[in-house]
A and B are shown apart, each in its own frame.
Chain A
Amino acid sequence: MHKVSIGRKILSANEEYALQNSQFLNERKKLCLNMISSPGSGKTTILTRTINELKGEIKIGVIEGDIQTDLDAGRIRATEAPVVQINTEGACHLSAVQVSGALEKLPIGVLDLIFIENVGNLVCPSAFELGEAGKIVVLSVAEGDDKPVKYPAIFAKSKALLINKIDLLEAVGQVDFCLERAKADARKLNKDIEIFPVSAKTGEGMTDWYDWLKGKVNNLR
C-alpha cells in the first residue's frame, strides 16, 4: 500500500449553493436569518408575532422548511407576509439549493428581512449553511436548561438565542429551567451571543428582540 497526502477541503455541493445565496442576498442588501430549534419551541409563533408587530417598519418574508405539510406557511400567510414553503420530504434539515429556489420565488425587491424557519431539529440544521447572515437559535423553557451543554454546536454558531415561553417559567420551576444557567452555558460556548428571554404568547421581552432586528436591518439600508 502507498499513502497519498491530500489535505484538501471537501467543498460540498451545499457550500457552493450557500455561497451563491449569500452573494445574492448581499448584492441586494437583504438580511437573512436562519431560525433553528427543536420541534415546537415556538419558531412560527415568534415569526407571526414579529411580522405583525413590525408591520410598517420592516418588510419581512419567510421561507418555511418542514418535513411535510404547509401548516406553518399557512400561519405566516395569515399575517399577509410573503412566504414560500419547502417540504424536505423526510430530510432533517434545509439545504442551500432548496433555499436558492425559494429565494427566487419571494418578491425579494420589496423585502428588508428574510427569515428561514428551518426544520424542527437542534442538531442537523446547524451543519448546513444556507447563505444566511446569521443563525437564530430558539430554546423554550419547557425543554430544560441543559440544552446548550447537550447541543453545543448550534449555540456556538448562532448570533442570537431566544429563550421562549418564559410565561411558563413558574409552571416549569427553577429546578427544571434556570434562566441564569441556560444563559451562562450559552455564553460559555459563545461570548458574543445575544440572548433574549421572550414569550411569543404574551409578548413579554419581544421589544429587545425587535430593537436588535431593527439595528441589523438599518445597518444594511
Chain B
Amino acid sequence: MHEMAVAQSILTTISAEAEKQNAKPVIARISCGKLYAINAEALGFAFEAIAKGTTCEGTKLVVEHKPIRGQCRNCGEIFEFELTSPACPKCGSEDFGLLPDEPLILEDIEFLTE
C-alpha cells in the first residue's frame, strides 16, 4: 500500500500552503500520469487517516489521471497513447516513443473564505 507514502508528501505540501493562506483547505486537486500507479480511492483513504487532527482534516482530495502520451518518430506528432490502436493518429507510423509519465502535481486548492 504505497499510497500512504504519497499521501504524506501531499499532506505536507497542502499544509504548507494552508499556513501561507491562513485558511482551511476544502478541496485539493492532484494530477499524475496514468503510469504512476496511484489508486484514487486508496490515496483518499490514506490521506484521510493521516490528516486527522491537522488543518487538512476533512479536506477532499480529487485525483486526475493524465493520459499516457506518445511522440511519433516519423512526423513528431505528440498524441494520447491508446493500447488498442498504437499508432500515430497523424501519419499512421507505428514508430513512436512514450513520453515520460506526468509527475505528481498539486494543481489547485479551494480554501474556505471567512
Binding site for B on A (CB under 8 A): 1-14, 91-93, 95, 123-124, 126-128, 149, 152-153, 156-157, 188-192
- Determine whether the beta carbon of A9 is less than 8 Å from that of B104: yes
Contact with A along B99-114 (1 / 0, CB 8 A): 0010111111111110
B97's contact among A8, A126, A191, by CB below 8 Å, is which? A191
Q: A10-B9, A123-B37, A156-B98 are in contact. Are A1 and B112 (CB under 8 A)?
A: yes
B13's contact among A2, A8, A190, by CB below 8 Å, is which? A8
- Determine whether the beta carbon of B26 is less than 8 Å from that of A7: no
Contacting residues, chain B, for A7 (C-beta < 8 A): 105-108
Residue B54, interface by CB 8 Å: no
B109's contact among A4, A9, A10, A190, by CB below 8 Å, is which? A4
Q: A1-B26, A189-B98 are in contact. Are A10 and B36 (CB under 8 A)?
A: no
- Determine whether the beta carbon of A156 is less than 8 Å from that of B35: yes
Residue B2, interface by CB 8 Å: yes
- Determine whether the beta carbon of A2 is less than 8 Å from that of B113: yes
- Mostly, the B contact residues are mixed
Q: How many residues of B contact A (CB 8 A)?
A: 38
Q: A190-B98, A191-B95 are in contact. Are A12 and B104 (CB under 8 A)?
A: yes
Q: How far is the CA of A45 from the CA of B103 in the complex (A)?
A: 34
Q: How far is the CA of A170 from the CA of B35 in the complex (A)?
A: 33
Contacting residues, chain A, for B68 (C-beta < 8 A): 152, 156
B37-90 contacts to A (CB < 8 Å): 37-38, 68, 73, 83, 86
